[in-house]
Amino acid sequence: MKKLHLLIVFLITSMMAFAGEGMWIPMLLQYNEKEMQEMGMRITADDIYSINHSSLKDAIVLFGGGCTGEIVSDYGLLLTNHHCGYDWIQKHSSVEHDYLTDGFWAMDRSQELPCPGLSVTILREMRDVTKQVLQHVTDEMSEEKRQATIDQSIKEIVAEMEKSTKYKVSIKPFFLGNEYYLLLNEVFTDVRLVGCPPSNIGKFGGDTDNWVWPRHTGDFSVFRVYADKDGHPANYSVDNVPYKPAKHLDISLKGAEEGDFAFVFGYPARTNEYLPAVAVDQEANVIDPIAVRLRGEILDIYNKYQEQDKKVRIQYASKHAGLGNGWKKWMGVTEGINHFHGVEKKRYYEEAFEKWCYVTFQRSFYFNLLQQFEEKYKELEPYRVAYTYLSNAGLNIEIIDFAGNFNKLSQVTADTPQEDVDKMIASLRKATQAFFKDYYQPIDEEVARTMLSEYLENQPADFRPSFLNEIKDVDAYVEQLFKKSIFASEEQVNDFLDHFKPNKLKKLQKDPALQAYQSMIGFYREEVNPKMGPINKEIDRLQRLYMKGQMQMEPEKRFSPDANFTLRVTYGKVEGFKPQDGKNYRHFTTLDGIMEKENPDIYDYVVEPRLKELYNNKDYGRYADKDGTMHVAFTASVHTTGGNSGSPILNADGQLLGLNFDRCWEGTMSDLIYDSAICRNISVDIRYVLFIMDKFAGARHLVDEMTIVE
């Protein structure tokens, strides 16, 4: 009886989308407009997305390949997170110019630093092309034939569109392949670093505070987009000028009050809200715990050496951040899914789905669908585990991963054109320089010993790369690996490249690091991928059917497609939360909390002297809240995920309140299961951003570029 009651309750709640839940397509936002305005929004869907006039979408950019940014001036000034700009800050850093530690501010445009390889992408238009893409698809087609037919249609549509546009054209699937949308994007490739706070502000709290509320992190950095004199995208040139956008964001100094409507506009990367229970269980309780354990051991090694040497701390800062981000998130996913009974809730829903299926034979497409999921995920699991060890243990041994760059060179023959060989050599010289700039062999040796031991202990002999089965003593193997491999020394690698001849290939081919890489990749290509590929294709087919079935079962429900790195709007309320009995968090933090956390003996909690001075004098300028304090960060019930880092969080008038940079620990499960009671996004208050620029860094000229609403 209790189970039936829970089923009824769950069905009722599932039939009604939580207010604001979902990753909404901006071109279809008119269907959400009424709800958004009832929640407090004072602008229209057309103000957010329009192709007929400038709108907020024209100020939102895909920053690089994995974050969001927003343009905040008529001169292409762009804000994103500190952790989004981290790689570029690190690339410009050295012991002599340690921008990670000390921060960087260009006091005029001549001091702005070029970032080769960095681009920003602006969406110009979306179009629904589902009918055209699926016009030749039939239910009788095999999965391979279906995909080939879709690929051909997409190729033809893109080719035709490219004849009449200057924009980059692409087509992406939505609703797991049930719908398709065409995207017209403009890509700018001259992007320059303008400013960033010191890490003790931009990364305050470090990994300890990552994914945790309350937060006190000034997670922002400043860039500028440049274009040619006609405003078109162009590669870096001293003749380029600041890009003049069709729209830039206005900035509000009013702050975020409890209960205020707010929305995030950005590029969420990947969610999987419509997975079956068996998939969620496997992710949270099998795969993620393995990755967490392996990465945790590597991070412990990084920490030990980074604490001992400033140069090593800089070299491994970006690597540490990359590993640590996933490590802590996956811990939260497992805890959240289990604490809030996510798998059980999915199973309740599936019981209702099965009952719906068997009401009529017309729904025979869906008969036994869930049983097929169970079978396929069971079949998939050992291969996913194998891949998790390969990617998190094997290829996190840097010398082995770096050696992989030389795999193609090891396969040249006397017939390979010299021009091709010369190109390979030139590319490898650049890769070698970049690798050894941020490499510390003692770290790699300890990581190698630890990860190879984990591999041997936890993966069966017949289901791991073959070179592992030849290891009798891990310590002895690692000693010989670094002693005999040319990839342990920049001088040896450069000497090899300087004197490379095809008749010297044996030296390369016998290198133990390259042999280990080839064994790993060979294992993946021969044993893992050939088995995972067909299983995943079948799961994709089942998932597409399941998505279609869910939409048919709940025709009154507004479904939002899973995130796929396309521009989306998400919305909710500024509010705190109660993650556990006895815990009740308010929605904001202040500079007071930074001073309370200060610990000069822990790098992540060092407070900058200038910041302390401003605090002691209460010298906040016009950026203080009406309560007189300096607000730092705030939370809201807005659905976000990776890729939303750097996204603007906007108020009811579409004005900038802050920059989204994280989620609360208890809500990291939101990629799989969203719960509006507990899932919170975390944003740095724009007033703290401006305060740091103006009062801390003395970069008032940047604030003066912006449109400020008092």
Q: What whole-number distance in Å separates Cα of residue 113 and Cα of residue 109?
A: 9
Name residue 351's amino acid.
E
Per DSSP, the three-state class of 575 is: coil
Q: What whole-number distance in Å separates Cα of residue 584 and Cα of residue 597?
A: 19
209, 219, 281, 444: which is the annotated catalytic residue? 219
CB 253 within 8 A of CB 634: no
Model pLDDT, residue 20: 55
Q: Beta strands 251-252 and 179-188: pairing type?
A: unpaired
**Token reading at 529:** 């991928």
Model pLDDT, residue 525: 96
Q: Which of 137, 103, 124, 110 is nearest to 27 (CA)?
A: 124
Q: Which of 496, 483, 470, 468 is nearest to 406 (CA)?
A: 496
50, 252, 637, 645: which is the annotated catalytic residue? 645
**Token reading at 685:** 């208050």
545, burial (CB in 10 Å: exposed 0-12, middle 13-18, buried 19+) = middle
- At residue 391, φ and ψ (nearest 5 deg) are -80, -35
Residue located via tokens 């290509």: 525
Give tens-digit pLDDT for 489-500. Answer: 999 999 999 988
Residue located via tokens 């291969």: 383
- At residue 582, φ and ψ (nearest 5 deg) are 90, -10
**Token reading at 70:** 């927003």
In the chain the first and final C-alpha atoms are separated, in Å, by 57
82, 83, 320, 639: which is the annotated catalytic residue? 83
Model pLDDT, residue 127: 97
350, burial (CB in 10 Å: exposed 0-12, middle 13-18, buried 19+) = middle
Model pLDDT, residue 317: 84
Q: What whole-number distance in Å separates Cα of residue 343 and Cα of residue 164?
A: 48
Residue 645 among the catalytic residues:
yes
Model pLDDT, residue 82: 97
Count Cα neighbours of 274 within 13 Å in the Cβ-side half-sphere. Answer: 24
Residue 164 among the catalytic residues:
no
As a residue count, the chain comes to 710
Count Cα neighbours of 213 within 13 Å in the Cβ-side half-sphere. Answer: 33
Model pLDDT, residue 13: 43
Residue located via tokens 């590029």: 267
Please report, for residues 549, 602, 630, 635, the alpha-carbon distance to residue 679 in angstroms, rounded to integers and kept in the order given: 27, 30, 25, 10
Q: Is the bond leading into 173 cis (omega within 30 degrees of zero)? A: no
Q: What whole-number distance in Å separates Cα of residue 276 and Cα of residue 294?
A: 27
Binning the chain into helix, strand and coil, the percentages to the nearest 5 are: 50, 15, 35
Give tens-digit pLDDT for 576-617. Answer: 998 877 789 999 999 999 999 999 988 889 999 999 999 999
Q: Which residues in the chain show pLDDT less than 70?
A: 1-20
Residue 637 among the catalytic residues:
no
Please report, for residues 39, 172, 244, 375, 555, the alpha-carbon distance to residue 370 in angstroms, rounded to integers and kept in the order given: 37, 26, 52, 9, 20
